[in-house]
Amino acid sequence: MTVAVIIFGLCMAGLVGWLVRQSLSIEPWLATDAGPELASHAVRSEQRLRLTLAVIVAVVTSLFGLFISAYLIRMEVADWRPLPEPTLLWINTAVLVLCSVSLQWAAWSARRSGSPALAPALLIGGVLSLVFVVGQYVVWQQLAALGYYLASNPASSFFYLLTGMHVLHLLGGMVAWARVTAGFFGRADQERVRIGVEMCAIYWHFLLAVWVVVFALFSYT
């Protein structure tokens, strides 16, 4: 079990390292159409946003890492009763993959001025995110119908805790998505929209990676 903890720790460390690099990478030439002062201000603003996202990614990764470590240690106790694996979890995983793809599509479109693909990509990403949340709720209902409640046994408690935390972070991202989408349709500054869409795409990639690790953990155990 110590080996499993180390493997999961290395995976999470690699994940957060990659995402932090993505969050901190700046492309200042994207703002050079404006004057030097405006371009400099835009770059500083983007740096602050990317740094904020990097901190969020690091904190959330640490939080999930701690709970995953506790999960792996706690499952060694005799009262551990594994949960069945609902088929819907696989479908929800596929939906979250499509969410990430859609928002990456939106990020690429935002870099191309006037791209008609930005609006549908943004909307598809948001709708699929809601579908994922509803799907997770249905999974909880299915498990409850089988007698696996929050306090039924430690395995149930950890399942609801980890999946619930993931959904809460996704809903938090939906707030940012809603603001970016409203800004786009409200004809906000194109550079602000681009930065917002790229931040959403990186965050959704992060949530997808976290979910893959959590889902693999449930399947493995």
Burial class (CB in 10 A: 0-12, 13-18, 19+), 219: exposed
pTM: 0.82
Total residues belonging to the chain: 221
Interval 34-48: pLDDT, tens: 445 544 555 666 777
Show the CA angle centred on residue 216, arms to residues 163 and 3, nearest 5°: 115
Interval 107-144: pLDDT, tens: 999 888 767 888 999 999 999 999 999 999 999 999 99
What is the domain partition of the chain in residue ranges? 2-220
Interval 75-104: pLDDT, tens: 888 788 888 888 999 999 999 999 999 999
Interval 203-219: pLDDT, tens: 999 999 999 999 998 88
Q: How far apart are CA 178 and CA 183, in angstroms?
A: 8
User: Contact, 99 vs 132, CB < 8 A?
Assistant: yes
Residues 6+ apart with CB under 8 A from 130: 174
Pick among 3.60.10.10, 3.40.309.10, 1.20.120.80, 2.40.110.10: CATH of 2-220: 1.20.120.80
Helices assigned H by DSSP within 75-117: 88-111
Percent of all residues in the chain with a pLDDT value above 70, rounded to a whole number: 79
Q: What is the pLDDT of residue 13?
A: 61
Q: How far apart are CA 138 and CA 120, in angstroms?
A: 27
